[in-house]
Amino acid sequence: MKTISIIVPCYNESETINIYYNETIKYLNIDNYKFNFIFVNDGSSDNTLDIIRELEKNDDRIKYISFSRNFGKEAALYAGLEAAKKLGSDAAIQMDVDLQDDPKIIPDMIKEYENGYNLIITRHKNRHGQSFIKSFFSTTYYKLYSFVTKSKNLAKGARDYSLLDKKVIDAFLSIKDYERFTKGMYNFVGFRTKMIEFDYNKRVAGTTKWSFKKLFHYGIMGMREFSRFYEYIPKIFGWIFFLLLIFDTVWQTYNHIANATEFNYRILIFDVSMVMIFITLFYITRLIYDNKKQLQNRPIYITEDTNIKED
């Protein structure tokens, strides 16, 4: 019998928890598997925790962790993974409580797990029903993200909804980043990864906990943490001014010869200064990234298998 923990981050979700629970348990009658839920109450100000405790009375598969304040979804997922490990689970599933992460595909995820995949990630087949603006921004973001990080999974719009086997749980826990970005970690940890698709669902009740501003900052953070994204900024500006410098020099030299105009040294000095400023900024950014990498203390490698035993 294998145990799978279902990690569910909840922030002011009093309207959705019962609906989520009643729907999800329909898909958990799978031979040879035991399930438990790890609800993480992320500092809710409504009665989310009371509802979880109420559920626990009738179902001993319900575990919970309640944060002292709102730490964010990524912190909740990390706490959930730690708990799954403590409970000795063979695998963990991370999913939202608003039923946007369709529980119907849990059996499919487990099938792929049995096929030998270590990490099963998911994405929406389409975005029917999502607002045009949101769909436009996410599609553009995923393209930009996969360009700067050279990752393929995100290009297709991977979600946090995923199944992680024991090895991947350990790998995720070994990443101690303070600012966490699950979708970036998929790529970082490696392992045999399978992607499953499902239809887009609207939130079943309640409202989104992510404002546009919060989502924007989270998106930028994800790029910053899994690529040298900030280096692009001085690099691009540096090139723009370098090309301007070439253009201005050629143009002024031509005019000087053909039309006997005076050189405008001010423009040329301005161009040179800007190039130098951006080169300096580029190397400062690079230095900050190198230091950050050292401080982040991410694992230098992740072992998939070895025959060297620890004593």
CA-CA distance, 213 to 219, in Å (whole number)?
10
**3-state class (DSSP) for residue 238:** helix
The only residue of 42, 112, 225, 271 in contact with ligand UDP, by rule CB under 6 A:
42
Q: What dihedral angle (degrees, nearest 10) is formed by the CA atoms of 91, 97, 99, 100?
A: -90
Footprint on residues 197-256 left by ligand UDP (CB under 6 A):
203, 208-210
Minimum CB–partner distance for residue 129 and Mg ion (Å): 13
Tell me the angle at which helices 229-259 and 132-149 cross, rounded to the nearest 10 degrees: 80
Q: Which of 201, 252 has the CB closer to ligand UDP?
A: 201
The only residue of 7, 11, 83, 184 in contact with ligand UDP, by rule CB under 6 A:
11
CA-CA distance, 183 to 284, in Å (whole number)?
28
Query: For residue 70, which of 12, 127, 14, 125 has the smallest C-alpha distance?
Result: 12
Query: For residue 99, which of 242, 228, 204 has the smallest C-alpha distance?
Result: 204
Q: Which does 248 bind (CB under 5 to 8 A by kind): ligand UDP, Mg ion, none?
A: none
The only residue of 13, 42, 98, 102 in contact with Mg ion, by rule CB under 5 A:
98
For residues 81 and 173, the answer to whether their CB atoms sit within 8 Å is yes
CA-CA distance, 184 to 222, in Å (whole number)?
7
**3-state class (DSSP) for residue 6:** strand
Q: Which does 13 bind (CB under 5 to 8 A by kind): Mg ion, ligand UDP, none?
A: ligand UDP
- Residue 50, token pair as written in the block: 């009371």
The only residue of 100, 146, 151, 193 in contact with Mg ion, by rule CB under 5 A:
100
Q: Which of 10, 223 has the CB closer to Mg ion?
A: 10
CB under 8 Å to 86, separation ≥6 — which residues?
A: none
| Residue given tokens 């700067």 in the structure block | 148
Piece in contact with ligand UDP (CB under 6 A), picked from 93-101, 113-121, 278-286, 291-299: 93-101
Query: Residue 64's beta-bridge partner residues?
Result: 39
Interface characters, 48-87, with ligand UDP (x: CB under 6 A): ----------------------x-xx--x-----------
The only residue of 5, 6, 7, 9 in contact with ligand UDP, by rule CB under 6 A:
9
Task: Please give the size of the binding site for ligand UDP, defined by CB under 6 A.
Answer: 17
Residue 16 lies near Mg ion (rule: CB under 5 A): no
Q: Which residues of this chain interact with ligand UDP, rule CB under 6 A?
A: 9-11, 13, 42, 70, 72-73, 76, 96-98, 100, 203, 208-210
Q: Which residues of this chain interact with Mg ion, rule CB under 5 A?
A: 96, 98, 100
